[in-house]
Structure 1
């Protein structure tokens, strides 16, 4: 955006953030117990030597079947075998197709705590269920929902609220209604899309209101949507509405806030929000249709 022409009244323009990669390292093809049901056994201590045995020497991740070994007994995971061109990374002997069944059985006998134990998860899980559980664990940290910079901060909700306020200088509001005015002197510029993020506190929860300009095919459009700072099952307990208009016309959107587990880009690309064509936005702005002046109002409510 051109210097001296702020997109918004109360926030400087920021470049759009690229979504961090999602963890898709989930065990496939194994018969495991329900990962959502932790055992009630006391916390078990597994010696460091056993953990080292199950650590791939190439990628340093935990190994899952099939676990390969060379003729000297050195092991590595199946994912790294092609990376070392079928040569043992420890002794350089040819790997062949030897499978380390003994180590796979050792792994099957282990039960370990979730790696998000420090965030509050108290479950103990079989070795082959642990990875799948961790990909779905309700205690796993959230990514920072700020979309105006390449922020890699993760944490629980109270930590992220403080982070947004202190580090990103996000506007924080209390209450379930809002009335925001978005201004841009040159609405024909939609490249290097900029965002506005406002955090609302209501019903004992936190919500993020986003506003962005982006290119939809050949047409420049604006989108506004709400995200819930929590998991999707909680987000479904709330609804919100957005309204924008002018010159006797208005557009109204009603929806359910998306969890911040879904990235801002994913929400935008699914068009799950109030979308305003640029021509309509300029019509709402009045005047000579050369300057964007949009007022977006809305409210959040809890479903009974």
Structure 2
């Protein structure tokens, strides 16, 4: 009885020790794996721009690697040893990269997925968590951020008017002929349905002919923008032009919207006719409305 009990006691006591050992081994393996991957990431960093390299990854005769974009920056000389950088590719390192998975660069903004090395860049170009660019037209503003941050930025830095409501009525006046030719309406932001919209008005040329265009952009993703519609109307002297459309996401730059003529397009001669007077002064009233499309419930 005693020997049997002793054996049973030893077995029961020994199992937690092996379980603890397994857990410790798993932690060690994970730590070593992370350390190994960290070392690989360092190998894949370009020594010039310090970003991850993608094919073609070039190498000098001594085996030092460089991304193809930086070859001209170093005048085709290896930044490590000074040897000439030819067109030799480091195929081994390119193959190793295929085995890696990397987190999205916008992890801190909410994207927690990992992606194969060569798929990461493609994902990041369209990641829904990537920050938005400042939508202010006519400036080289490089500020990016989330929508609430950009709204505050537009108000504080660009002195943009913020309005609540889904309807608007703007009067636009330019008395200087030069301003008439290069008219750019200061951006206006409207808040309705818990979202923000940007109203634009600016001059452009279609061929040699001068035009104006007014359009609305949605401060959010395109999938959300498609849930809304808007209308614009402009007129004077018993004449009017109307436009109805879907707001574009601010992911699309305002120049892209202009080039696509996706808005209320007004020939300058007609705009001046609407304005009355001596055809040298712009006096336009733009009215509009934003509404949310009803969702069709399907059984």
TM-score band (shorter)? 0.7 to 0.9
User: 2:180·2:282 contact (CA, 8 Å) conserved in 1?
Assistant: no
The offset of 1:232, in angstroms, is 1.5
Q: Match for 2:44 among 47, 51, 54?
A: 54
Q: Match for 2:253 among 239, 263, 269?
A: 263
Listed as ranges, the matches of 1:127-142 within 5 Å are 127-142=117-132
- Cα 1:191–1:55 shift into 2, 3 Å: farther
User: 2:182·2:202 contact (CA, 8 Å) conserved in 1?
Assistant: no
Matched position secondary structure for 1:149: coil
- Cα 1:82–1:189 shift into 2, 3 Å: closer
In the alignment, structure 1 residue 147 sits paired with structure 2 residue 137: yes
- Cα 1:290–1:64 shift into 2, 3 Å: closer
- Cα 1:200–1:189 shift into 2, 3 Å: closer
In the alignment, structure 1 residue 240 sits paired with structure 2 residue 230: yes
In the alignment, structure 1 residue 195 sits paired with structure 2 residue 182: no
Listed as ranges, the matches of 1:40-189 within 5 Å are 45=34, 48-81=38-71, 84=74, 86-187=76-177, 189=179
Partner residue of 2:212? 222
- Superimposed CA distance per residue, residues 186-220 of structure 1 (whole angstroms, 9 cap, x where no aligned partner): 34644554332110111111100001123333333
Partner residue of 2:25? none
Structure (1 or 2) with the larger CA radius of gyration: 2
The offset of 1:45, in angstroms, is 4.6
The offset of 1:129, in angstroms, is 1.0
Matched position secondary structure for 2:119: helix
User: 1:147·1:195 contact (CA, 8 Å) conserved in 2?
Assistant: no
> RMSD in angstroms over aligned alpha carbons?
2.3
Partner residue of 2:22? none
- Cα 1:290–1:99 shift into 2, 3 Å: closer
In the alignment, structure 1 residue 282 sits paired with structure 2 residue 272: yes
Structure 2 unaligned spans of 5+: 1-29, 295-299
Q: If the length of structure 1 is used for normalisation, what is the TM-score?
A: 0.79
Q: If the length of structure 2 is used for normalisation, what is the TM-score?
A: 0.80
Cα distance in structure 2, aligned partners of 1:64 and 1:112: 13
Larger helix fraction of residues: 2
Higher RCO structure, 1 or 2 (CA under 8 Å, sep 6+)? 1
- Cα 1:96–1:248 shift into 2, 3 Å: closer
Matched position secondary structure for 1:299: strand
